[in-house]
Structure 1
Amino acid sequence: MVLQDAETVAEAFLVRLRRRGVDRLFVNSGTDFAPIVEAYARRKESGLDLPDVVVCAHENLAVSMAHGSYLGDGRVQAVMLHTSVGTANAVCAVFNAARSRVPVLLAAGRTPIFEHSMLGARDAPIHWAQEMFDQAGMLRELVGWDYELRDGAQVTDVVDRALDVACTEPRGPVYLTLPREVLAAPVFGTDDRPAPAGPTPAHPEPAAVDRLADLLAAAEFPVVVTADAGADLAAVPLLDELCRRFGIAVVEHGTRHVNVPADHPLHAGYAVDAVLADADVLLVLDHDVPWIPGTAGPRPDAVVVQAGPDPHFTRYPVRTHRADLSITACTAALLQALTTAMAQRTSDPARGERLAERVRGWRDRRDQVLAADFENADPITKPVLNAALARVRPADAVVVSEYWGSAELLGSTVPGTFYGTPPAGGLGWGLPAAMGLQMARPEATVIATVGDGAYLFANPAACHQAMAMHDLPVLTIVCTNAHWGAVQGSALRMYPDGHAAGVPDLSPLARLDPSPRYATYAEASGGMGIEVSARADLMPALEKALRTVQEDRRHALVDVHCA
């Protein structure tokens, strides 16, 4: 059937996005958006079903919100950027999405090709300076596919191709440039064919599953190490069952998702180094850096199995972690097949109880931190801040952590309620991602736990303005200590006896003082802001902020001065 109701390529592009299940279009618009602006202006007359526009005042905000929306609902997202300069602003957020395997169609306007004589041709001086020889080259290494729309006759094919590649494992962003003249052109015969069938999940090779099952059944101390298994919410109960039924310990190392409930009896904690000396079979389940080769590693006689959609992380230029067996499969499919195979084998029925007792030590250390005294005059530390949040946080509240929110101390038990910093570590992700997640799950309580450096990188004025514009009652908790902890810590690790270690003051390269009054960013956009510097005020402030986001449905920020 011909898309007779779409008059321009811009309209056909937007209609196809919607019909492929893209409900939101995150945008930071510019002069290249004129045909898009016209398409939305004509919507009342045309009746076209177009994606809902989510206006963002910065490209990092737009892409990171799309990232968070995918975490929230598991559906492919779309962003439209402003030509070359908007793409440049977005690269850091695209890096995060790429390394986190988040499927998002990144569309960007392209500076008009023609200088005259075409609708959409150049009509402002900026159209010469913004043109690049290879606009997509800025992020080609980070996307699975890039292309430029050449003509309206191919708009359906190109949108389908982009979305299909983005959603094929290993998933990730794709990039499509849209010349203004092409968007403005009339549609001739654009079809509305059904969406192509999506790819089925990759299933593991049966012989490899049998070998892995044999290894796990015969092991004395089998351990699963993961950071991202819980990216697929369906995998969480599968991993839970596998480890319970067959006595396998599990370590969440560098946690970025709830991979198993924190109260799992065979949870071995959040530090892989604690088990490497004992584990005789190590199943690395969808984890890019399961240990740091220069400081630790599996024992020589251990068997190491790498498994996941891309078990060797082929987009990383160098990664030499051992693999005695490598299995390519989506996590849920592997866990289902492995559970079936393990049920056909005999393993020591008492192994689970022995391992549970052996790996429980981290729980005692965590309980000591959670028993923090909030009435004394000691400074607020990051562990104390985590303990306070753990006490007031509802079990189903979602925490998006960029810096201080600890998966170990917060103890999430519900799948999809904890998200940690992407492996690329591009700062400024946490707060926008929390906003996108709030948009995807409007009934959820969403809490962003960020450091002051990460908060500044997120363009806070743009973030709070977007919270007000789009009715996003996110609770932001800023741990303010006026320094880059990662910068100072890295220097001290490299030079433990160096000059920086011998100086009592912070390096100037790690300082962020003077600290702004971060609460005023929220207040400037109609939110509530609170500053806390005393322990006794911490719990009441967090409780008040939670009431604000839950009952008043208004965004709130708590600025906590930490030691």
Structure 2
Amino acid sequence: MTTCAQSLVRLLEGYGVDTVFGIPGVHTVELYRGLHGSRLRHVSPRHEQGAGFMADGYARASGKPGVCFIITGPGMTNILTAMGQAYADSVPMLVISTTNRREHLRLGHGHLHELPDQRAMVAGVCAFSHTLQSPEQLPELLARAFAVFKCARPRPVHLEIPLDVLDMPAIDLNLMPRSLPGAPAPAPASLRAALNLLNDARRPLILAGGGARDCAEVLQQLAERLQAPVALTTNARGLLPMNHPLLLDGVQSSKHGRSLFDEADVILAVGTELGETDYDFFGLGPLKFKAPLIRLDIDPMQVMGVQRAHVGLVGDAREGLQALLDEVSPPAPSGRWAQDSVQRVNRLERETWNAKQQGLQGLLDLLRDSLVDPLIVGDSTQPVYQGAVGYQAPVANSWFNAGTGYGTLGYGLPAAIGAKLAKPERPVVALVGDGGLQFASNELIAAREAGIGVILVVWNNQCYGEIRDYMQAREITPLGVDILTPDFAAMAHSCHVEHHTAATPQALHELLQTLAGSRQPVMIELDAAQYLQNA
């Protein structure tokens, strides 16, 4: 007899899933019956939040949805933060959980792991949440989930399976994956209106976000055709090559970037919310565009967002950019406005950096340049915040972190583990502060157990440094931010992981080159004050 749980595993295989993150529990053991003999690799984190962050990092690095098996009740409350991060950053994640037997739902009889309404609790951090009522619904619901990942704004999907449904016989189910539709293209009339604006523009500007992260080639071609400077959000870094003459540093949130917005005569925003943490990081106030705004986004709610669009293009970023590229024929640009403006704004931004910011930027550049094709995953920590302003990624999907958007702590290490699983051939760096690491240090032993060679770089300033600085800037006496940090060497040793220190950039460079091919996780601890002094 093939059960519902076993059929689920076979369907996941059909949709190309190869890795599942989860912690077995009495309510999910039937799912594990299905895993035996399958092609799916199972990775055991040490906390369900870690499972969600691993799935997030795996999805961003691979382009495929991250999949989690999660127990009823506490497992789902534990993973909610990770789902919130993925929801905010439009990351495809499939969370499959159990729930109590159908006859016990929402009665409050005190059954194991019981919640009043688990699905309602999860609904706010996913594209949809559904309770499976019978095995026959499984093929349709999984097809809907993968259609969201491919054809809509990708966000977590939650499917919960009652315990009595989980081990039901699944008779005559069609376990072939359904053919998924293609992503929608913008309407022709809207494209014509956008082309009219772009064809008349002499000083166009492009703002690209994470929704365009798979469109590097066509975005670059359009920017060059238009001679338009390009500002990239954190999740879009790498869409233009480093040092490209049209590539702005992360200046869209600074006064220098704002001044360039005022000079533009049309602005094309692609796959970006135009949200606070990407465009108002320094508290300058809401964006006010003087030029006509074109918004291209697969989510109509974003096209109709607070920043009013003169032309709204609802559809896939690649489809929309290609359609614009195929038809646009702008007049000759106004002199060297684009390249001169990029040089000027980038220079002005870098001239404002103090010695600490320059040291932090040097650290980021060293991490990038000391490794071949690195993927850097950051937590909410001071070097990562500097990267929001100045980091240039070598390629798309090689720099992501929790420093913007939802902004959770504890993301960096488990997300880097997921990324390394997706891209085992690339060096993967987890850049984490001493405070953030304490949110997720338990996942270091999970990486060691699974043989996942992440390079963990710990920025140890013995405090929640960014929050301490924030309090001091507002004349608030720091409280609760100067924390006692663990002995990280002892922590690494207890997890069977090598521990190293580097007091200078040269020492760090040499260590990275030595450790790049490690098949096991390694920890490099940087004393923040000492490192900056020697930078």
The question of a shared fold, defined as TM-score above 0.5 by the shorter chain, is answered with yes
Q: Are 2:418 and 1:448 aligned?
A: no
Residue of structure 2 equivalent to 1:305:
294
Spell out, residue by residue over 1:291-338, the C-alpha distance to the aligned partner (whole angstroms, 9 max, x if none).
Answer: 349725666641122221125438xxx952232222112111111111
Q: List aligned pairs for 1:512-531, cutoff 5 A.
A: 512-531=482-501
Q: Are 2:241 and 1:261 aligned?
A: yes
Residue of structure 1 equivalent to 2:125:
142
Q: List aligned pairs for 1:407-556, cutoff 5 A.
A: 409-421=390-402, 423-457=405-439, 459-461=440-442, 463-488=443-468, 490-491=470-471, 495=474, 499-500=475-476, 507-509=478-480, 511-532=481-502, 534=503, 537-550=504-517, 552-556=518-522
Spell out, residue by residue over 1:160-215, the C-alpha distance to the aligned partner (whole angstroms, 9 max, x if none).
Answer: 333334443111111111222222223333333x3222121121122322322232
Match of 1:282 among 248, 267, 276: 267
Q: Are 2:374 and 1:397 aligned?
A: yes
Q: Are 2:66 and 1:66 aligned?
A: no
Taking structure 2 as the reference length, the TM-score comes to 0.87
Q: State the distance in 2 between where 1:279 and 1:435 align.
A: 41
Contact kept, 8 Å, 1:434 with 1:446, in 2: the verdict is yes
Query: Amino acid of the residue matched to residue 331 of structure 2?
Result: S
Q: Are 2:79 and 1:83 aligned?
A: no
Q: 1:79 to 1:346 in 2, by over 3 A?
A: closer
Query: Amino acid of the residue matched to residue 400 of structure 1?
Result: V
Q: 1:61 to 1:349 in 2, by over 3 A?
A: same
Q: 1:166 to 1:339 in 2, by over 3 A?
A: closer
Contact kept, 8 Å, 2:294 with 2:309, in 1: the verdict is yes
Contact kept, 8 Å, 2:213 with 2:396, in 1: the verdict is no
C-alpha displacement at 1:105, in angstroms? 1.6
Contact kept, 8 Å, 1:369 with 1:387, in 2: the verdict is no
Spell out, residue by residue over 1:479-509, the C-alpha distance to the aligned partner (whole angstroms, 9 max, x if none).
Answer: 122333443455567x4xxx42xx5xxx113
Residue of structure 2 equivalent to 1:27:
22
Taking structure 1 as the reference length, the TM-score comes to 0.83
Q: State the distance in 2 between where 1:212 and 1:17 align.
A: 40
Query: Amino acid of the residue matched to residue 370 of structure 2?
Result: V
Query: Amino acid of the residue matched to residue 279 of structure 1?
Result: A
Secondary structure of residue in 2 paired with 1:88 = helix
Spell out, residue by residue over 1:20-78, the C-alpha distance to the aligned partner (whole angstroms, 9 max, x if none).
Answer: 222122111211023223344xx4xxxx5352212221111111111111112212232
Spell out, residue by residue over 1:443-502, the C-alpha distance to the aligned partner (whole angstroms, 9 max, x if none).
Answer: 111111222232222x212x2112112221111112122333443455567x4xxx42xx
Secondary structure of residue in 2 paired with 1:189 = coil
Residue of structure 2 equivalent to 1:388:
366
* % identical aligned pairs: 22
C-alpha displacement at 1:431, in angstroms? 1.7
Q: 1:368 to 1:470 in 2, by over 3 A?
A: farther
Q: 1:78 to 1:492 in 2, by over 3 A?
A: same
Spell out, residue by residue over 1:526-551, the C-alpha distance to the aligned partner (whole angstroms, 9 max, x if none).
Answer: 2221234x3xx34323432442241x
Q: State the distance in 1 between where 2:103 and 2:523 align.
A: 48
Spell out, residue by residue over 1:337-386, the C-alpha distance to the aligned partner (whole angstroms, 9 max, x if none).
Answer: 111121xx2411564x332022213554788899x9xxxxx999423422
Query: Amino acid of the residue matched to residue 486 of structure 2?
Result: P
Tell me whether 30-39 or 441-450 shows the greater mean CA deviation: 30-39
Q: State the distance in 1 between where 2:33 and 2:291 align.
A: 63
Q: 1:302 to 1:441 in 2, by over 3 A?
A: same
Q: State the distance in 2 between where 1:266 and 1:88 align.
A: 44
Q: Are 2:331 and 1:347 aligned?
A: yes
Tell me whether 277-286 or 327-336 shows the greater mean CA deviation: 277-286
Q: 1:142 to 1:358 in 2, by over 3 A?
A: same
Structure 1 stretches lacking a partner, 5+ long:
1-5, 116-120, 373-377
Contact kept, 8 Å, 2:236 with 2:396, in 1: the verdict is no
Secondary structure of residue in 2 paired with 1:427 = coil
Query: Amino acid of the residue matched to residue 429 of structure 2?
Result: I
Q: State the distance in 1 between where 2:289 and 2:45 align.
A: 51
Q: State the distance in 1 between where 2:469 and 2:375 align.
A: 28
Answer with 1 or 2: which has the greater Rg: 1
Q: State the distance in 1 between where 2:194 and 2:428 align.
A: 39
Residue of structure 2 equivalent to 1:239:
219
Secondary structure of residue in 1 paired with 2:27 = helix
Tell me whether 156-165 or 8-17 shows the greater mean CA deviation: 156-165
Spell out, residue by residue over 1:260-307, the C-alpha distance to the aligned partner (whole angstroms, 9 max, x if none).
Answer: 223211113211242223222111211113534972566664112222
Secondary structure of residue in 1 paired with 2:173 = coil
Q: State the distance in 2 between where 1:22 and 1:164 align.
A: 14
Secondary structure of residue in 2 paired with 1:508 = coil
Q: 1:278 to 1:85 in 2, by over 3 A?
A: same
Residue of structure 1 equivalent to 2:189:
207
Secondary structure of residue in 2 paired with 1:239 = helix
Match of 1:558 among 519, 524, 530: 524
Secondary structure of residue in 2 paired with 1:87 = helix
Secondary structure of residue in 2 paired with 1:473 = coil
Query: Amino acid of the residue matched to residue 310 of structure 1?
Result: D
Query: Amino acid of the residue matched to residue 9 of structure 1?
Result: C
Q: Are 2:314 and 1:328 aligned?
A: yes
Residue of structure 2 equivalent to 1:375:
none
* Equivalent residue pairs, number: 512
Q: 1:205 to 1:161 in 2, by over 3 A?
A: closer
Structure 2 stretches lacking a partner, 5+ long:
530-535
Q: State the distance in 1 between where 2:149 and 2:207 align.
A: 27
Query: Amino acid of the residue matched to residue 388 of structure 1?
Result: L
Spell out, residue by residue over 1:230-264, the C-alpha distance to the aligned partner (whole angstroms, 9 max, x if none).
Answer: 422xx111111111122111112445542222321
Query: Amino acid of the residue matched to residue 451 of structure 1?
Result: G
Q: 1:492 to 1:155 in 2, by over 3 A?
A: same
Q: State the distance in 1 between where 2:27 and 2:331 align.
A: 64
Match of 2:43 among 51, 54, 72: 54
Q: State the distance in 2 between where 1:200 and 1:95 align.
A: 27
Contact kept, 8 Å, 1:427 with 1:454, in 2: the verdict is yes
Query: Amino acid of the residue matched to residue 30 of structure 2?
Result: P
Q: 1:488 to 1:408 in 2, by over 3 A?
A: closer
Spell out, residue by residue over 1:90-146, the C-alpha distance to the aligned partner (whole angstroms, 9 max, x if none).
Answer: 00000011122222221112134568xxxxx9xxxx972521221112220121221
Q: Provide the alpha-carbon RMSD of the alignment.
A: 3.1
Query: Amino acid of the residue matched to residue 415 of structure 1?
Result: A
Contact kept, 8 Å, 2:267 with 2:294, in 1: the verdict is yes
Residue of structure 2 equivalent to 1:118:
none
